[in-house]
Each structure stands twice: as structure tokens, then as C-alpha cells.
Amino acid sequence: QIAKGKRQEEMRLLEEKECYSQYRIKISEILLN
């Protein structure tokens, strides 16, 4: 049960990182255009 919770936390952190990188890419594109 604890392992499952830890896994969900890791997945959430990965998703946040992914969202952040997508966000950075969008900002870069806006600044470059």
C-alpha cells in the first residue's frame, strides 16, 4: 500500500515535470516569434 502511494507520487512528479517542460517550450516559442 505504501509502495503504491509512493509510485503515484512519482508519477505525479513526472507529470508536473512534463507540464513544466511543455510550458518552457511554449514560452520559448512565444519569445522567439
DSSP 1-33: -HHHHHHHHHHHHHHHHHHHHHHHHHHHHHHH-
Q: 22: which 3 cell numbers?
A: 511543455
Given pLDDT bands bounded at 50, 70 and 90, which one contains residue 11? very high
Given pLDDT bands bounded at 50, 70 and 90, which one contains residue 2? confident
pLDDT at 33: 80
Question: What percent of the chain has a predicted confidence (pLDDT) above 90?
Answer: 82
Given pLDDT bands bounded at 50, 70 and 90, which one contains residue 13? very high
Residue type for position 19: C
pLDDT at 22: 96
What distance in Å separates the CA atoms of residue 20 and residue 28, rounded to the nearest whole number?
12
Q: Of residues 1 and 8, which shows the higher confidence score?
A: 8
